Amino acid sequence: MAATFLMATGTNLSALWILVANGWMQRPVGARFDPVTMRMELVSLWKVFLNPVAQAKFVHTVSAGYVTASVFVLGISAWYLLKGKNQEFARRSFRIAAAFGLASAVSVIILGDESGYLDDLGQKTKLAAMEAMWETEPAPASFNVFAIPDQKNMKNDFVIRIPYVLGFIATRSYDTPIPGIREIVRTNEGRIQKGILAVAALDRMRAHPDDLEARQQFEENQKDLGFGLLLRKYVRDPAKATPAEIHRAALATIPRVTPLFWSFRVMVGLGFAFFALFALAFYYSSRNSCHKKPWLLKWSLYFIPMPYLASELGWFVAEYGRQPWSIYGLLPVSDSVSSLPLSSLIFSLGGFVLFYTVLLVVELVLMFKYARLGPACLHTGRYDGEAPARPEDLRSAGVAGGGHHV
């Protein structure tokens, strides 16, 4: 029991620091760029830790893990009930999974909504892309339930909308506009032009550290340095960039809309499906009638893979929606690629893929094995599919005196 709680605590603490780091990449706070050393330097660990994006991501991601575990327990319990095995055990575990899963699903939905609100505050590009919102609409903006995005022409070929919903969800108000992709591109063109000045000043400072004029120019345009660095992907010397090259770089600040749009909607749809599943499971299990609802049991069983899909889609939206940045607005992916040779990358990544594939196969074999065995693997003699208990098995399982728990 102690090992179980320690492992759970360690896993959650590990997730906390991983997501604090990821939250900083999404919204870099508590650090500053040093033009002399050419690196970001920590100013306040407390600000990094309390970054609203990091905290929302931590609770959202951990809650999603709880949903995954709850659906798994719910599904295996439903399988026992459908097979008529270990009925009392299965009903108890079904009830616990339903209650815990319902609370976790509510947490996922609330913190997912909070993440969308934070995107509007700090990552308007991601919000506009995953909503396929090309034009800035009068507040409050409509929510696109269904759309066929055409990124080349910056329009939707077909769209079904719910008026006002997005404006309230993303801004918590009815009078705050949400910028569309076209407006964001125009804004980013201006930021790239200021970024060109920042890059030029930085180069002068590196060559002449005492150049006060260059330092002043850099400080005035520092917040747009990343946009100037982004331009270097398209032109060797940003100072010589043409308007067409600047426009091309501005367009590159918008990730591909179609995969983001649909990944987000499938993820959200699954989130509400989990809530509905847990709510029904909790209702019927509290009335002690879940075993009489085969449709609910089958739904629970077939849904076991769905939380894994929803989690992967969530990570896709978070990471792909940040493109083309490694650190949002500061460091483009094109400037953060590894200098290692291709052979080294193939070897290391291939090793990781092979290692984790082996772990996946072993895990699946063990999960299927013990799901089929169920509580019979405890060898207490109290469950279906096991031989009468041996005294040594009873002692190891903590059972004594006629098969009753101590």
Q: Give every CB contact of residue 53 below 8 A, 6+ residues apart in sequence.
A: 23, 26, 27, 115, 118, 122
Do 66 and 105 fall into the same domain?
Answer: yes
Q: How confident is the model at residue 401 (pLDDT cuts 50, 70, 90)?
A: very low
Do 235 and 162 fall into the same domain?
Answer: no
The residue among 216, 235, 251 that closes a domain is: 251
The residue among 198, 232, 251 that closes a domain is: 251
Do 240 and 295 fall into the same domain?
Answer: no
Q: Note the pLDDT tens digit of each residue in 24-62.
A: 999 999 999 888 888 889 999 999 999 999 999 999 999
Cα 25 to Cα 395: distance, rounded to the nearest angstrom = 52
The residue among 251, 267, 297 that closes a domain is: 251
pTM of the model: 0.87
Q: Give every CB contact of residue 79 below 8 A, 6+ residues apart in sequence.
A: 297, 301, 371
Q: Note the pLDDT tens digit of each residue in 338-386.
A: 778 888 889 999 999 999 999 999 999 998 888 887 776 666 656 666 6
1: in domain: no
Q: Which residues pair with 160 in a beta bridge?
A: 146
> 162, 167, 132: which is closest to 147 by C-alpha?
132
Token pair listed for 78: 């439903």
Do 63 and 119 fall into the same domain?
Answer: yes
Question: What per-residue confidence (pLDDT) applies to 61?
Answer: 94
Q: Tell whether the model's pLDDT for residue 394 goes beyond 60.
A: no
Question: What per-residue confidence (pLDDT) applies to 403?
Answer: 42
19: in domain: yes
Question: What are the angstrom distances between the C-alpha of 130 and each of 1, 42, 174, 260?
Answer: 43, 31, 20, 5
Cα 53 to Cα 367: distance, rounded to the nearest angstrom = 34
Q: Note the pLDDT tens digit of each residue in 138-184.
A: 889 999 999 999 999 999 999 999 999 998 888 888 888 999 999 99
Do 120 and 143 fall into the same domain?
Answer: no
113: in domain: yes
Full domain range(s) for residue 404: 358-406
Cβ–Cβ < 8 Å for 64, 317: no
The one-letter amino acid code at 148 reads I
The number of beta carbons lying within 10 Å of the beta carbon of residue 312 is 12
Q: Note the pLDDT tens digit of each residue in 264-306.
A: 999 999 999 999 999 999 999 999 888 899 999 999 999 999 9
Do 263 and 312 fall into the same domain?
Answer: yes
Do 31 and 90 fall into the same domain?
Answer: yes
